[in-house]
A and B are shown apart, each in its own frame.
Chain A
Amino acid sequence: MSLLHFENVSKSYGDEEVLHDVSFQLDAGDVEVIVGPSGSGKSTLLRCVNRLTEIDDGVISLEGEDIHAMDENTLRRRVGMVFQDFNLFAHRTARGNVTLGLTEVLGLSKHEADERAEQYLQQVGVADQADAYPAELSGGQKQRVGIARALAMDPDLMLFDEPTSALDPELVGEVLAVMRELADDGMTMLAVTHEMGFARSVASRLAFLEDGQIVERGPPEQLFEQPQHDRTDEFLGELTDLNR
């Protein structure tokens, strides 16, 4: 059974259809990278998975269970999300950002939560900044705290919504390194990113989304070397040029 299953998912905002009949599956341990031009529905697709956005049509299931039959807070505990502009809780330290979900959602004691936060901050390499507030961290550090915050909830699946797009170029590497490690540890990941190096070396599959539809999907080598559609070739070509 697949971990995540999209079956004929559609979503519109008013008259504008953002997702049109999207279907795909993700197995446990898969790293799926989604690329596509701006406005193609990438972020909406991610937000449907943890129901920050509700779909109009189709079924999304997590481990065979329809996510719309689940309590949304339970669903979100099982699906970690990392945002483009970090969205760290501005009034809490790095540690406090990680512990909030642990104490309020998982019901851990403050002591247990602090210990677990320490462990995850260590994992993403910002343990020495545990007492710093978001405003005192660099962009790369903020995003790594964001990853630790999602990871500490022990999710089945991690969503990354353009995690490096808001970062200064020299800070992108440290965040990608953390994501790479996560993938190596077998975390299932669904990532919207335009880091083609990452997609090539880490992704098990690459999907090209345009106008709310998956134009082409397959192993990254295949999409890069033998794309079936001209649009895929064109778009990936442009991205690769930009990344160079």
Chain B
Amino acid sequence: MSVDETEPAAVGDLPGRRRLVVLVVGAVFWTWLLTRWIYHNAALDRIFSTLGLPGLIRSEVPVRDREPWLSPEPFASAADSVASFGHGSGLPEVATGWLVWLCDLLAFSIESAPALAEGAYVTVYLTVVSILLGLAIAVPLSVARVYGGTVLGRLSLAYTELIRGTPLLAQLFLLYYGLPLASVIESLGFVGSGWVPGPAAFVAIVGFTINSSAYQSEYIRSALQSVDEKQLVAARSVGLSKWAGIRHVVLPQGLRYAIPGWTNEFVYLIKYSSLAAFITVSELFGRAENIVTDTFRTTDVYVILALFYLALVLTTALAMERVAASVAIPGVGQPDGDR
């Protein structure tokens, strides 16, 4: 078996035609999603209104009243016709039932898509902001762990184990219900007005940042430890201080080694971010819950929801593959061939 075959399978590895299908579906999904976000974006609405185009962006429409851009009608009537054909022909229920369900599901997807698009927007910014802030904390944490000596190393370890050892939901509840964090954030004034998300979203970002920084620091720590020690010795031998050596020699290599593990954490966070719904943030999962409450179509809603998460996760995995390829250096972070 060659080295390539042991690499984890990903969308980017698919052969020609299947890859094309995935890319086309992805392009359609993202075009629709981005257009939806732009169409209801409050910041853009304000800009276009001052430019004299008040009707172009419709951020004032409440999420529940947003209309789909496709009519669900054809699928709904298709479901009806298949159902009545089924009854008339005397075929058993199983022969046509699945088709009725599928047509119905498509119609229902179209109806619920605008609200889910809004939820996906929140999920994306919660995740992206938190993973990046978490990274900014995780790098010094992991450096402290590996190079910080006894005191800094133990502090870093204690933080990591405390955060990783307690449930994220408990952390969020503590931050949101236990601490006056939300009211402090709200007192800043600009929070929740116009396009700025409400205090609960800020609390969620704080929680995810803290939680994710602990997991990220573990991935980065093990990556730093896999950098050959002699690299730092070489840096020191030309006169660099320990910290300069870490910054200019160890981190550039270690962070490249960390990309696969870091991608894993990113993908996890996309899904973990659904816990924000439990502190009242209307992200993707929260929107889906609302739809369940309105329609009682539990199974259908969660099937559609799963597809949304799947799309976000696959996109992230694909994007990170590109990132990894664009920063790749021969001999760093990949199996070293015999030269």
Note all chain B residues with C-beta closer than 8 A to A81: 237
Task: Tally the A-B contacts, defined by beta carbons under 8 Å.
Answer: 76
Whether A100 pairs with B235 at a CB distance below 8 angstroms is yes
Interface residues of A in 89-136 (CB under 8 A from B): 89-91, 100-101, 104-105, 133-136
Whether A101 pairs with B238 at a CB distance below 8 angstroms is yes
What size tier do the contact residues of chain B reach?
Answer: 20 to 34
Asked if A76 lies at the interface with its beta carbon under 8 angstroms from chain B, I say yes
Chain A interface, number of residues (Cβ within 8 angstroms): 27
- B247 CB to nearest A CB, Å: 9
Chain B contact surface mostly: helix
- The docked-state distance in angstroms from the alpha carbon of A77 to that of B253 is 24
Q: Mark A181-199, 1 if CB is under 8 A from B, else 0.
A: 0000000000000000000
* Nearest-CB residue, chain A, relative to B336: A135
Note all chain B residues with C-beta closer than 8 A to A89: 231, 234-235, 249
Whether A91 pairs with B238 at a CB distance below 8 angstroms is no
Instruction: Please tell me which stretch of B143-151, B207-215, B325-333 contacts chain A, meaning at least 4 of its Cβ atoms lie within 8 angstroms of it.
Output: B325-333
Note all chain B residues with C-beta closer than 8 A to A135: 330-332, 336, 339
Whether A91 pairs with B240 at a CB distance below 8 angstroms is no
* Nearest-CB residue, chain A, relative to B334: A135
- The docked-state distance in angstroms from the alpha carbon of A41 to that of B240 is 26
- The docked-state distance in angstroms from the alpha carbon of A80 to that of B236 is 11
Whether A100 pairs with B240 at a CB distance below 8 angstroms is yes
Seen from chain B, the residues whose Cβ lies within 8 Å of a Cβ on chain A are 228, 230-231, 233-241, 244, 248-249, 252-253, 256, 329-332, 336, 339
Q: Known contacts A83-B230, A101-B239; can you find 15 more A-B pairs with CB under 8 A?
A: A50-B237, A52-B237, A73-B241, A76-B238, A83-B234, A87-B228, A87-B230, A90-B253, A100-B248, A105-B240, A135-B330, A135-B332, A135-B336, A135-B339, A150-B237
Seen from chain A, the residues whose Cβ lies within 8 Å of a Cβ on chain B are 50, 52, 73-74, 76-77, 80-81, 83, 85, 87-91, 100-101, 104-105, 133-136, 138, 149-150, 153
